[in-house]
Amino acid sequence: MEVHEWMIRYTRQTEWIDRRGIFLWIAFYAGGLGGGLYLVSLYFNSLWGMFISWLIIAVIKGGAHLIFLGKPTRFWRIIFRPQTSWLARGLIFVLLFVVFTAIQLVFSYWLPGTAGEIVFKVLAGIMALAVTVYTGFILNTVKAVPFWNSALLPVLFVLCGILGGFGLSVVIALNGGHVDIMAAETGSRWLLIINALIIAIYLWAAANREPTGKQSVIEQMRGSVAPIFWIGIVVLGIIIPLAIAFSSYFVVKVESALLVTGVACEVAGGLALRYCVLKAGAYKPLVATAH
């Protein structure tokens, strides 16, 4: 058998991040952000937050998925085969979220407090969690990419989405939305710390589980993805938002512009996290050495 280079060497996957794959990266993050915002908005009972989360998932995530999948007259057939993949199940979750949340928003605006509002809040909340978590399961089932084979990945994506939800809730509160800004800041503060710990554990586990996974971690730390990892995830996604969040302990009132900057950094960090996970993913060699 002729041995090719891709059979024995670290080979980065490109389909899900390069060229049109960029839209899948955007769709993955938009789903987590929109789902996380909806869950946080349920907690605060923020109608504006629920509406914005619906727009993020229906327009940004839905649109990015359409562009990535192509052939819009055919791709919808995948929803009739949920047993085939997590991608198929994910599209069903997105569709149900869009429908349930639209109905819930109607009830919440015109018939608040009714049984219909409660039922559709529960249904939309379940779908929001499903939309947030399923991207982690999609990657987790790709056995050929060891860097993605971790039970921590779905958890990390959910917590990252909820962190973004708390951040956007702060912005909604600053613009007159019915959100407890102190509670939203506290939620962001704790989730920033938890996310940082889980990212560290995820990378440590990937580096010690399998040689190709270790190579993916090295690619993030010292390779071509390193600038995005250190600047996007560590500096923008963790250090700056944490510094702004804890500054509230030392000043009477944090300036609105500073809070918005912290939220923008959280969103940038979430995008960078998805990008690095997708970009550093590599296929396991078929054979250990060439003969």
**Which of helix, strand or coil describes residue 282?**
strand
Per-residue pLDDT band at 80 (split at 50, 70, 90): low
Looking at residue 65, its pLDDT comes to 85
| pLDDT range class, residue 247, cuts 50, 70, 90 | confident
How many angstroms separate the CA atoms of 114 and 220, rounded?
50
pTM for this predicted structure: 0.92
d(CA 160, CA 241): 13
Write down the pLDDT at residue 1. 39
Indicate if the pLDDT at residue 77 is higher than 70: no
For the stretch 145-165, pLDDT in tens is 999 999 999 999 999 999 999
Question: Domains plus CATH for the chain?
Answer: 5-283 (1.20.1630.10)
| d(C-alpha 241, C-alpha 164), whole Å | 11
Taking alpha carbons only, the member of 178, 246, 176 closest to residue 42 is 178
Asked whether the predicted pLDDT for residue 210 surpasses 90, the reply is no
- 20 vs 134, 170, 272, 274, 284, CA distance in Å? 21, 33, 17, 16, 23
Band of residue 4 on the pLDDT scale cut at 50, 70, 90: very low
**Percent composition of the chain: helix, strand, coil (DSSP 3-state, to 5):** 75, 0, 20
Contacts of 180 (CB under 8 A, 6+ apart): 44, 173
| pLDDT mean across residues, the chain | 88
Residue-wise pLDDT tens digits, 132-147: 999 999 998 888 899 9
Given this model, what pLDDT does residue 110 score? 96
Average pLDDT for 238-266: 87
pLDDT at 7: 42
Q: Average pLDDT in the 35-52 region?
A: 96
Q: Can you read off the two tokens belonging to residue 13?
A: 């996957």
Ranking 1-10, 39-48, 114-123, 247-256 by mean pLDDT, the lowest is 1-10
What per-residue confidence (pLDDT) applies to 287?
55
Over range 269-277, report the average pLDDT: 96
Percent of the chain whose pLDDT exceeds 90: 65
pLDDT on residue 159: 96
Q: Whole-angstrom Cα distance, residue 157 to residue 33? A: 9
Three-state SS for 12? strand
